[in-house]
Amino acid sequence: MPQFVWEQHCCLPLLHSARIADLARYPLGSYLSVNVGYSRQSTEDSLALLHKFRRDALGDGRFRLVERLSDIGAPDTIALAFDLEDSGPLGGDLDNVQMFYDLGVRSMLPTYNHANAAGCGCLDTEDTGLTAYGRDLVRRQNEVGMFVDGSHCSRRTGLELAECTEVPMIYSHSNFVALCDHPRNITDAQALACAATGGVVGINGVGIFLGQNTIDGRAERVAAMAAHIEYGAELLGIEHIGIGSDYSFDAEDFNDMLTQDPGAFSEVYTKWGPLQWVPPEDLLGLSEIPGLDEVLADRGFSAADRAAVLGGNFARVAGQVWRD
């Protein structure tokens, strides 16, 4: 099992009933970025969730809230930061980027699936890219030290993020459309533009983005993640690939939402049946199936390359982007 895991995106329920203790399914020593809002949350909603998660983490004792890069990697704690999957929770006020950063938000997407004031999403039929506000948002994130994240964005928006940013950008949890033709996956051009900024693409473990969504396909999903890592390493170089599994601790709630409100995600999400994920236990070799580290080793990845993918690469770009 790897000693250090950088999980660039996972999801607790966006509810005050969420249990911070569930994150301890990841081993001590890990770094976790946990979502605190997307297009449905207001500024007040996301702030309330942030304060709850921070309070609960401090009360648990197994977590350390991340203020600077040096807070990550202690073997007896899980380092915890947060992310926003849409710029909507800013409420249109770019000064809120700093406020959220001060509360531990270290990455943010401009858009989640559909167009908003910042740009277009991956499910939009017309792709007009970043808006003027979206470009101002990128500049503000650069100034504050918050990752600019292209996941869930449209293809043109993603390319224009790479053009605008002055520091490395990321795709926190995005797979390659060349291996699985889904609009949430990214093109080679998007990935290459991200890498040209010095950034990292985090491979996710969502069944419909891997092409492996059967209930009994746990090992196949881990193998598919390895295939996307291998493809990305060949396309971009191993230094540009990481992990953002997008594991949903609220899987049942999320699948219920897909059933009750399919228009919010479209048929490309709903036609596969209930979504399946790669849980931390399968990802990290803590269950009965081979974990990602073992699968990558079997594919010929060296120990150094595996360590880079499972943590080192995102840590490197955080050192270039975050402001201590």
Q: At residue 324, does pLDDT exceed 60?
A: yes
- Taking residue 43's Cβ as centre, other Cβ atoms within 10 Å add up to 17
Query: What is the Cα–Cα distance from 162 to 142, expressed in whole angstroms?
Result: 12
Q: Tell me the H-state helices in 26-124.
A: 43-60, 96-102
Q: Which residue has the higher pLDDT, 269 or 81?
A: 81
pLDDT for position 1: 54
pLDDT, average across residues 117-137: 97
Q: Where are the beta strands (DSSP E) in 149-289?
A: 170-171, 200-203, 241-243, 247-248
pLDDT for position 268: 84
Q: At residue 208, does pLDDT exceed 80?
A: yes
Q: Which residue has the higher pLDDT, 235 or 266?
A: 235
Confidence tier at 116 by pLDDT (50, 70, 90): very high
In order of 120, 132, 169, 221, 236, the CA distances from 139 in angstroms are 18, 11, 12, 37, 25
Q: Of 73-77, 135-139, 185-189, which gets the smallest average pLDDT?
A: 73-77
Query: What is the Cα–Cα distance from 281 to 247, expressed in whole angstroms?
Result: 11
Q: At residue 202, does pLDDT exceed 90?
A: yes
CATH architecture of 6-321: Alpha-Beta Barrel (3.20)
Which candidate, 324, 307, 197, 206, places its Cα nearest to that of 265?
Answer: 206
Query: What is the Cα–Cα distance from 159 to 149, expressed in whole angstroms?
Result: 11
Boundaries of every domain in the chain:
6-321
Q: Of 1-5, 9-13, 255-259, 317-321, which gets the smallest average pLDDT?
A: 1-5
Q: What is the mean pLDDT of the chain?
A: 95
- Residue 94 tokens read as 């770019």
Q: At residue 245, does pLDDT exceed 70?
A: yes
pLDDT, average across residues 50-66: 98
Confidence tier at 254 by pLDDT (50, 70, 90): confident
Confidence tier at 188 by pLDDT (50, 70, 90): very high
Q: At residue 111, does pLDDT exceed 70?
A: yes
Query: What is the Cα–Cα distance from 294 to 277, expressed in whole angstroms?
Result: 19
pLDDT for position 257: 77
Burial class (CB in 10 A: 0-12, 13-18, 19+), 205: buried
Confidence tier at 184 by pLDDT (50, 70, 90): very high
Q: At residue 154, does pLDDT exceed 60?
A: yes
Query: H or E stretch including 79?
Result: strand 78-84
Backbone phi and psi for residue 107, each to the nearest 5 degrees, phi listed first: -150, 155
Q: Which residue has the higher pLDDT, 267 or 109?
A: 109
Q: Of 2-11, 49-58, 148-157, which gets the smallest average pLDDT?
A: 2-11
pLDDT for position 3: 61
Query: What is the Cα–Cα distance from 139 to 195, expressed in whole angstroms?
Result: 19
Q: Which residue has the higher pLDDT, 93 or 4?
A: 93
Q: For residue 215, what is the DSSP state? A: T
pTM of structure: 0.96
Angle between helix 188-196 and 218-236 (nearest 10): 60
pLDDT for position 2: 60
pLDDT digits (tens, 9 = 90+) for 300-319: 999 999 999 999 999 999 99
Which candidate, 161, 150, 48, 56, places its Cα nearest to that of 100?
Answer: 48
pLDDT, average across residues 219-236: 98
Which candidate, 189, 65, 144, 251, places its Cα nearest to that of 171?
Answer: 189
Q: At residue 80, does pLDDT exceed 70?
A: yes
